[in-house]
Structure 1
Amino acid sequence: MKYQNNLTFAKQQDSEDSLSYLRNRFHIPRDKNGEEWLYFTGNSLGLQPKATKNYINQELEDWANLGVEGHFEAKNPWLHYHEYLTDKMAKIVGAKPQEVVMMNSLTVNLHLLMVSFYRPTTSKYKIVIESDAFPSDRYAVQSQLEFHGFSKEDVIEWKPRKGEELLQIEDLEEIVSKQGDEIALLLIGGVNYYTGQFLDLKRIAEIGHSKNCVVGIDLAHGAGNIQPNLHESGVDFAAWCSYKYLNAGPGSLSGIFVHEKHARNKDLPRFAGWWNHNKETRFNMRQPFDVMEGAEGWQLSNPPILSMAAILASLDLFEEVGMEKLRQKSEKLTGYFEFLVKEIDSEDIKIITPKNPKERGCQLSIQVKNADKSLHQKLMEQHVITDWREPDVIRCAPVPFYNSFEDVFIFTEILKEIL
């Protein structure tokens, strides 16, 4: 559409936005005078849905009134609580319900999945990651290599070309073509935390599988942001957190995906606990281990109900709206944001996120030449919350649930004034 650089246009877009009512479903941070801040860090911590308190209070009340019987007699019996999340979460990431479960935290889940899917041999043991992978992913794969007797130097990096910020799929294809006989696993961030680039998961899976490599995806910056269509993509496994775009609260649980081609394979090696044992005999206590089929077969312990209540509050909002409508608004809102940033008359500013809306989520990474963290501080002084990443990038994510066209217009006016 044809955008206009004025507040009247921004307000008009908000008035025509069928999802604008959702902003009132969230708590927006305010200053001491009660004025709303401009919040652009849903890519780091999503805002709290107003309904979350009621969802958690329900479980607190059942715990107070029922004690241990809440496992069976609560309004939402705790024994099955994780199952209330499964269908809704599967829709968001494009998976079958049997392929998804919520459990643990993200890096813990990556390690548990690598127990099953990183099975190195003396000749096929290397791991491919993107060169600017999130540090936790890098530490995880390096420690897995060393645990199996290899070196952290056996990580192969998929790098942008010289002078560029974005990854080219042809370069990954060349890496796997030349070194695939030595590569056991590709563990790739589906949406890069720094640039916001959304990678072609289906193509990555095809490239990896062409050389019999396992393909895993970290969707920390993808779940609730883009539509990854995990089942259709053919990737072997994936994991994500729920506290960014899924708005489930700080440190909240992670989700995992295991493709059905593996999920029913009870012979896959894995760590075991009583919560991935057969539900029918779990409480008989003295049964030999009988692993469940599906992603549930990677659980270990009974789930934390209070955290899951917060997740359910957010997932019910996703269920109400649907990822397709959220994604449509996201592309339009981020498109307007991009237009406004490009209108700023400065040679020092550059958007390093892909221009193609299909190759990015709602995050724009704005590179400011010769800037330092004082830029971030000046924005904070103007009641704008963004995310600073060294050496010179501010990451800004106008989230379709709670950000408005007026938000992005006011933000760019403030940024222009600071620059």
Structure 2
Amino acid sequence: MNLGHNRHPRDPPESRQAGTELTMQAQDANAPLKTRLARLLAASGAASLADPKLAAYLDAQDSLRAFRAQFSFPKRRTVWPDEYREDKERAGEADREEDAVECVYLAGNSLGLMPKSTPELLQEELGVLGHMDHAYGRPWVKIDEHVTPLLAEIVGAKPSEVACMGSLTANLHTLFTSFYQPTPQRHKILYEGKAFPSDAYAFASHVALHDYPPSSLLPVFPREGEHTIRTDDILRIIEDEGDSIAVICFGAVQYYSGEWFDLEAITKAGHAKGCIVSFDCAHAVGNIPLKLHEWGVDFACWCSYKYLNSGPGGIAGLFVHERWENRKRLHGWWGHDKATRFAMPSAYSPLPGAAGWQFSNPSVLDVVSLLSSLRIFDQAAHVLPRARAGGQIHSRGEVLGALREKSVDLTGYLELLLTSSPYYLLPESFPPSSASSTQDDKHAVSSFTIITPSSPSARGAQLSLLFHPVESMDWIFARLRERGVLGDERRPGVIRFAPVPLYNSWGDVREAALALEEVMGLYVRWRREGGRHEEDEGKDDLEKRETPAGIEDEGVRQ
């Protein structure tokens, strides 16, 4: 739904100060959305932002609402924790009709939902008579050609700069083999501290393979007491250390905090110091507008099972800027010139562009699983207001720019509901992880904050909620699953929610926020009545699930 406001793809770097300014950002960033929603309260007949009438009204106005029906949602009873399921079975309540409804699925940042067209496409491939014929116009030898143009639009690249292949970490290794060529003067790798572990492992392994010490690894961490990394700090380190940095590789959107780094500014600063600049776009592709070619990014890689909905272990992708077409790389027969590939020549002649980094033929089943989702992205781009008005959607990086309108609003609505909870604390007021949780104050017993930046230009769809005490997160996450509300957990104390514009609704967002408040009220009551975690004096009361029957939530608002 377009709420009638203008979007800009990114604020200028000077306006993106992540950190202790989060409180003021929360006020400023959500003010326009809150004002628009307030105007819609009267039109919807709703009494508050949490009123179901408002969510229903917004869903009815959503130009993307029809795409929800193209995805398969898990049913509530299929996601129950094992212990809860056993309790239900013993009580004879495991097959109630109300538990067969769809989940509130806000975990698309972890694993996107399956398009309903995927099984049909898979069956078409399984029914093909060998590789000599294809009844549906997708010969296997050219299967990747059906997805690379769509991927290129999503990442803001030329089709020749994109290849669909392998897995994310394998592609990262492939690209680092070409681009990480350390010298005694320039050997460091700059990346965000607490990067996704597979990235950190890959960086360390390349440093070790070249016989450089661990000090060649240069992670950047947030300032003391903060959860995100300030752009100014990244740029300062590039300026100070750039002459010794070989490769810069950040997660475009940080997997844990949800912070969207300023890719353009980082690329410009890195190039000014002679560094290769790259990004892991796992949490960015399909989520935020990307313009990899325009920004001059040297290389990037991504998976496709999150926002691109290709399924667990789905095929990945990579980007290599056209300026590096002649860069040395490892060779494989699928990267050889198509005109002579099957002549089996002894000399290697690479395909132009990123395709020349391919080793083997891509998995057909994986490619068509991705294709089913990319077709939905393509359809969605044509129903949005700018497309209907005759605007040009299919230009590099603009497909996601259009979808972002709904994404920004959905995540903003979720943030407004969460920050109005009596259990929410501002980041600067949030207790340290070592703080006691045995006081009578309900915030000391249980509270949460949001560690994701409040500015829409500094985040994607995801909000990361940090809980106090950290051991409460597992209890709260399990109770949410019992209610059919799915985010995902990142230990020790974070639950991530990510409303996805292709299939999530305003009603989903409202239900998730109210379910969290209900569960936190139950948690506070459980603790006050003697419930204890395993960490509390070694007792295992949590495993026994001693939630008193009939407890009512504390403070759930409609």
Which among 278, 302, 308 is matched to residue 361 of structure 2? 302
**Alignment-mate amino acid for residue 80 of structure 1:** K
Q: What does residue 368 of structure 1 align with?
A: 467
Q: CA deviation at 1:153?
A: 3.2
- Determine which of 351, 362, 378 is the counterpart of 2:450: 351
Identify the match of residue 342 of structure 1 among 407, 419, 437. 419
Range 143-152 or range 215-224, more displaced: 143-152
AA at the equivalent of 1:43:
N
Taking structure 1 as reference, are residues 325 and 179 closer, same or farther at Cα in structure 2, changes over 3 Å only? closer
Rounded Cα–Cα distance in structure 2 between residues aligned with 1:68 and 1:164: 55
| Distance (Å, rounded) in 1 between the aligned partners of 2:352 and 2:506 | 45
Helix, strand or coil for the counterpart of 2:256? coil
- The aligned amino acid for 1:47 is L
Amino acid at match of 1:314: S
Task: Find the partner of 2:504 among 403, 406, 412.
Answer: 403
- Residues 74, 409 of structure 1: alpha-carbon distance in 2 compared, 3 angstrom cutoff: closer
Residue 336 of structure 2 is matched in structure 1 by: 277
Equivalence for 2:310: 248
Counterpart residue identity of residue 286, structure 1: P
Q: 1:167-213, CA deviations, whole angstroms, 9 ceiling, x for partnerless residues?
A: 11111122122211211010110000011111111111111111111
270-279 or 30-39, larger mean C-alpha shift: 30-39
Question: Hey, what's the Cα distance between the residues in 1 that align with 2:165 and 2:243?
Answer: 33
Greater mean alpha carbon deviation, residues 319-328 or residues 4-13: 319-328
Q: Is the 8 A contact 2:333 2:341 kept in 1?
A: yes
Q: Confirm or deny that 1:110 pairs with 2:172.
A: yes
User: Paired residue for 1:193, among 230, 255, 260?
Assistant: 255
Is this contact kept in 2: 1:142–1:151, CA < 8 A?
A: no
- 1:138 is aligned to 2:200: yes
| 2:177 counterpart of 1:76 | no
Distance 1:74 1:317 in 2: 18
Is residue 2:112 matched to residue 1:67? no
Matched ranges for 1:12-411 at <5 A: 12-32=57-77, 33=97, 34-62=100-128, 66-70=129-133, 75-262=137-324, 264-265=325-326, 268-322=327-381, 323-346=400-423, 347=425, 348-372=447-471, 373-411=474-512
Tell me the distance in 2 between the aligned counterparts of 1:318 and 1:134. 27
For 1:5 and 1:38, how far apart are their aligned partners in 2? 16
- Whole-angstrom CA distance in 2 between matches of 1:293 and 1:75: 24
SS at match of 1:409: helix
Letter in 1 for 2:328: P
Percent identical pairs in the alignment equals 43
Question: CA-to-partner distance for each residue in 1:18-55, whole Å, 9 max, x for gaps?
Answer: 10111100001013442111111101100000011111
How many residue pairs match? The answer is 412
TM-score, normalising length: structure 2: 0.72
CA contact (8 A) 2:76 2:483 kept: no
Q: What RMSD, in angstroms, separates the aligned Cα atoms of the two structures?
A: 1.2
Unmatched 5+ stretches in structure 1: none
Paired residues of 2:463 and 2:497 also in contact (CA < 8 A): yes
Give the drift of 1:73: 6.8
Which residue identity is paired with 1:243? Y
Contact 1:10/1:406 (CA < 8 Å) preserved in 2? yes
Q: Is the 8 A contact 1:26 1:47 kept in 2?
A: yes
Aligned residue identity for 2:416: F
The code of the aligned residue for 2:449 comes to K
Instruction: Call closer, same or farther: CA 1:324–1:173 in 2, change over 3 Å.
Output: closer
CA distance in 2 between counterparts of 1:416 and 1:281 reads 63
Structure 2 runs not aligned, ≥5 long: 1-32, 38-48, 78-96, 382-399, 426-446, 521-558
Per-residue deviation, 1:74: 5.9
Conservation of the 8 A alpha-carbon contact between 1:143 and 1:152: no
Structure 1 residue 101 displacement after superposition? 1.0
Task: Say if 1:14 and 1:405, in contact at 8 Å, map to a contact too.
Answer: yes
Q: Secondary structure, in 3 states, of the residue corresponding to 1:365?
A: strand
Q: Which amino acid aligns with 2:514?
A: E
Distance (whole Å) between structure 1 residues aligned to residue 490 and residue 135 of structure 2: 47
